[in-house]
Chains A and B, each alone.
Chain A
């Protein structure tokens, strides 16, 4: 439980560390850093209660730039380390910073399990569809055909959708946002921070050096108007500059159609609380250019967090057996005395 104790009003400045930021000029990471530094002071949580834990990769330098408790760990394992930190002290708000390689390749296994267990950590996955720190190799989200240093004739690995992975793992909160839409990014981060349980946020992030423009076709200030689908709970699933396109049922699938008076009434309404996650899953499988790219919150369904269940078992055990007594434990079982 995070208690909102009255404390001095925090500002962005309180979350800026004295370490010089060393990402490449123009890197999308800067805006994500700024967004989180803006969101955290708004939560009413004392600064010392944040722990930011990262793995390895460009994005994983993130904790050094935040003036909170931070831990820059090893490749792919931030989620496992964060699990230990959260269980050890549930009073902390724990954030995990990872990337498409760190979180979905080497750390794919831990990602699956942290989400299925509903460990109350907020995971920001920076997706630039490339390995940046090792200077440009294809990642598990790189599109097929992408030519990189390790795929000179084109990538033959089928990419996976981070949002689909999170949903399939049973994450309670799943969202996608982008590094270049600060307002949207901040709103999603804030919603994740306030969600109880595992929150997974894919941030479409631009690597200016090794994969510049990877998301440009749907997240540029102009292209997003046409090709991004903004998800808002309870609102119709429409997109296009004039809202002229919408999503309708077509059998078990969802079709994207030009809207007119005849079909406007059939447009689906977004529902982040839908228990089965069917809608969220279908949206997560949307592939550009056949479909628009959904941005926003796919799913937000709360259930007991991992630490709550563990803590309640401890409380239950103490109720049944009393708080652990070492002397009693040492002398438990079959004993005998030698005089």
Chain B
């Protein structure tokens, strides 16, 4: 079932054989209306309760309800749970749940040889096969010979099971995802207890629906118990996670939480100006629900107003942020430059998605790096930080805010659709472990000058309402330190350099390069952002094989650690894998002039560990 060796043990009830596994990857796939995201989330919570490490990857279409049963309408949720430390939602599937023919067709290519396919026969009728583009029924034509197919008329069983609840025929059918969930619970030795509790709470106001869903999940579980569908059940024991209290968190939730924490740490009001855009909207949704923190969320009329309102709030002294995805950044870029020129602290979050243009809104990519670094008019230095995992979004949001207010600069925080929607266990930090964020507003009229820089190169934050500090800022070039408008050539040269030096000086905060694995050797892999999990796991595998490989994962992309160049020199080859066609590679090549290999993937999907391992090995072999 999985990569690891397994051993057979007796199940606790002594009746069935149970096989212990280190890790399992399941994908629940069905129509957008089939409730696959919910099923996946429920299974995830249960895995979390049982102490597994886990990572999830929802994969849904950008259409809310594409025509039922079609390829375009397939929605999936992938879950990787393990008894060891894992960093990705898994490469290949151990189990594929396919609620219809289209779901099978779209997802089959990711299933391991020998993997389990659980199908709902109701989704494989002639019409379904036709919509999915199958000439013959794949369940019958022998094409699935290398897999273990479990055929169940899930819909029919569900409808029968929920009959006592007295719900409509339509609602009865919709419970099939819970029946499926019950089956999966049985297969992995998990009781549906927590899900039942959740159902009762969630549908407290609709007791008939609650009863139906509960009946469905119990029926699915009991069905497996009764019918000899599987020879064995499987056990994935607890993972040795670090001590502490955990919660399951997605990247967008963590980003929102990070900004709440930043505002609490800075003891300043939080303002979010934003416009809904996939896949960033959840950050706005999350923060809109935290009004009791005094957070002002402003759903603006467009992306530009989202950024501009944040700048206006920063001018007034708030912790100001704007959240968006790539196309939104295109619209915000003029405003971002105003923040560069006026030297106001604003954090711009870009939850990257497939581009260019509208691209693939629900699919992941890392192709806005150069936009973040250079996508504005003029010489416009912008600090750029990238989060590496869902939980890390929390820390990255805090850090981005800290740098913005302490250096008086806009900061770009890059996440991506993969880590934004993916989830993992998040170790809840103690308040005293959070970084301190110091905000000092200027107060003294005798010493105040709008562009008088401190040791960090930051100008003072003098907010309206402070007596005696009335001053004017704006997008026109200013004289340092007086802040008056100037078109003087020498002054522009000086100010441009000052802006660059200020951002470059953030290097003191960034610190030296952190290397995992070999500190010198045959191959250095440099990654950034959401590819961390796959790249670090791939490097670990090579290290386990005795290969001399080092891994540098860049958190700050501007500025870079100041010793990165020396680090590069210690390896024979350099690989830069990224979910674009070579943006970090271009940036690093431009800075350091080294020869680097790029591995670019732009399929709207994260890297698989196996493809990285394969590529790294091919590089090592070529040089051997």
Using CB atoms and an 8 Å cutoff, list the residues of chain A in contact with chain B. Answer: 17, 19, 46-51, 53, 56, 63-64, 67-74, 77, 80-89, 91-92, 109-110, 112-113, 310, 313-314, 316-318, 320-324, 326-327, 329-331, 333-339
Known: A48-B469, A69-B470, A83-B309. A334 touches B48 (CB 8 A): yes
Write the chain B residue with the least CB distance to A19.
B484
- A81 with B291: CB separation less than 8 A: no
Could you show 12 A-B contacts with beta carbons less than 8 Å apart? A19-B485, A48-B465, A48-B467, A63-B474, A70-B470, A73-B311, A73-B474, A84-B313, A85-B464, A89-B318, A314-B294, A336-B245
Contact of B312 among A48, A83, A112, A329 (CB under 8 A): A83
Pair A70/B473 contact, Cβ less than 8 Å: yes
Which residue of chain B has the shortest Cβ distance to A324 in the bound complex? Answer: B293
Contacts of A330 in B (CB 8 A): 257, 261, 428-429, 431
A91-B465, A314-B294 known; A80+B304 contact, CB < 8 A: yes
- By a CB distance below 8 angstroms, the chain B residues around A321 are 292
B269: nearest chain-A partner, CB-CB:
A88
Q: Least Cβ distance of B486 to chain A in Å?
A: 11
Residues in chain B within 8 A of chain A (CB atoms):
45, 48-49, 51, 241-248, 257, 260-261, 264, 269, 271, 273, 290-296, 298, 300-302, 304-305, 308-318, 320, 334-335, 338, 342, 428-429, 431, 463-476, 484-485
* 4 A-B pairs with least C-beta separation: A84-B312, A72-B474, A324-B293, A84-B309
Instruction: List the A side residues contacting B464 at CB < 8 Å.
Output: 48-51, 69, 85, 89, 92
* Cα separation A84 to B272 with both chains bound (whole Å): 9
Give min CB distance, A329 to chain B, whole Å: 6
Q: A88-B318, A314-B291 are in contact. Are A80 and B296 (CB under 8 A)?
A: no
Rounded to whole Å, the gap between the CB of A53 and the closest CB of chain B is 7
Contact between A334 and B465, CB atoms less than 8 A apart: no
* A339-B244 Cα distance, complex, nearest whole Å: 7
Decide: A110 and B465 in contact? CB cutoff 8 A: no
By a CB distance below 8 angstroms, the chain B residues around A56 are 475
Number of A-B residue pairs, CB cutoff 8 Å, is 210
Of B45, B48, B245, B298, the most chain A CB neighbours within 10 A belong to B298
Known contacts A88-B296, A113-B305; is-contact A46 B310 (Cβ 8 Å)? no
A79 to chain B, nearest CB (A): 8
CB distance A80 to B470 under 8 Å?
no
**In the bound complex, CA of A110 to CA of B307 (Å):** 12
Closest chain B residue, CB of each to CB of A326? B264
Q: Given A69-B471, A87-B298, A338-B244, are A324 and B312 also a contact pair (CB < 8 Å)? A: no
**Distance between Cα atoms of A333 and B476 in the complex (Å):** 48
Residue of B320, B431, B463, B474 with most chain A CB atoms under a 10 A cut-off: B474
Q: For B291, B294, B295, B467, which residue has the most chain A Cβ atoms within 10 angstroms?
A: B291
Chain B min CB distance to A105 (Å): 14
Which residues of chain A have C-beta atoms less than 8 A from B472's C-beta?
17, 19, 63-64, 69-72
A71 and B298 CA atoms in complex are apart in Å by: 20
Asked if B301 and A109 sit within 8 Å, CB to CB, the answer is yes
* A74-B338, A326-B431, A331-B428 known; A88+B313 contact, CB < 8 A: yes
Q: Is the CB of A87 within 8 A of B296?
A: yes
Interfacial chain A residues near B45, Cβ < 8 Å? 334
Q: Report B-chain residues with C-beta under 8 Å of the C-beta of A339.
A: 243
Cβ contacts under 8 Å, B470 to chain A: 47-48, 67-70
**Contact A84 B304, beta carbon cutoff 8 Å:** no
Contacting pair B298 A84 (CB below 8 A)? yes
Most interface-central of B261, B292, B467, B473 (chain A CB within 10 A) = B292
A85 and B312 contact, CB distance less than 8 A? yes
| Across-interface contacts of B295 in A (CB, < 8 A) | 314, 324
Contact A337–B473 (Cβ < 8 Å): no
Complex Cα spacing A324 to B289, Å: 11
Whole-angstrom distance between the alpha carbons of A314 and B431 in the complex?
24
B293 near A336: Cβ-Cβ < 8 Å: no
CB neighbours of A86 from chain B (8 A)? 312
Residue from B311, B314, B315, B465 whose CB has the most chain A CB atoms within 10 Å: B315
Contact between chains at A83 and B298 (CB < 8 Å):
yes
Decide if B316 touches A88 in the complex (CB within 8 Å): yes
Most central of B45, B244, B312, B467 by chain A CB within 10 Å: B312
Docked complex Cα distance between A337 and B309 (Å): 41
Closest Cβ neighbor of B342 among chain A residues: A71
Minimum C-beta distance from B128 to chain A (A): 35
Smallest CB separation, A21 vs chain B (Å): 12
Q: Which of A48, A56, A63, A313 has the most CB of B within 10 A?
A: A48
Indicate the member of A81, A326, A339 with the most B CB atoms within 10 Å.
A81
Chain A residues with CB under 8 A of B469:
48, 69
B246, B292, B315, B475: the one contacting A317 at CB < 8 Å is B292
Q: Knowing A69-B464, A72-B475, A73-B475 touch, does A84 contact B51 (C-beta < 8 A)? A: no
Q: Does the CB pair B246–A338 fall under 8 Å?
A: yes
CB distance from B485 to the nearest CB of A (A): 7
A322: which B residues are within 8 A, CB to CB?
A: 292
Contacts of B308 in A (CB 8 A): 73-74, 77, 80-81, 83-84, 110
Contact status A318-B292, CB under 8 Å:
yes
- Find the A residue at minimum CB distance from B462: A69
Contact at B310–A84, with CB atoms within 8 Å? yes
**Neighbouring A residues of B473 by C-beta, 8 Å:** 70-72
Kindly state the separation between the CA atoms of A86 and B313 in the bound complex, as whole angstroms: 8
Cβ contact within 8 Å between B471 and A70: yes
Given contacts A71-B342, A323-B292, contact A335 B465 (CB under 8 A): no
Nearest A residue (CB) for B474: A72
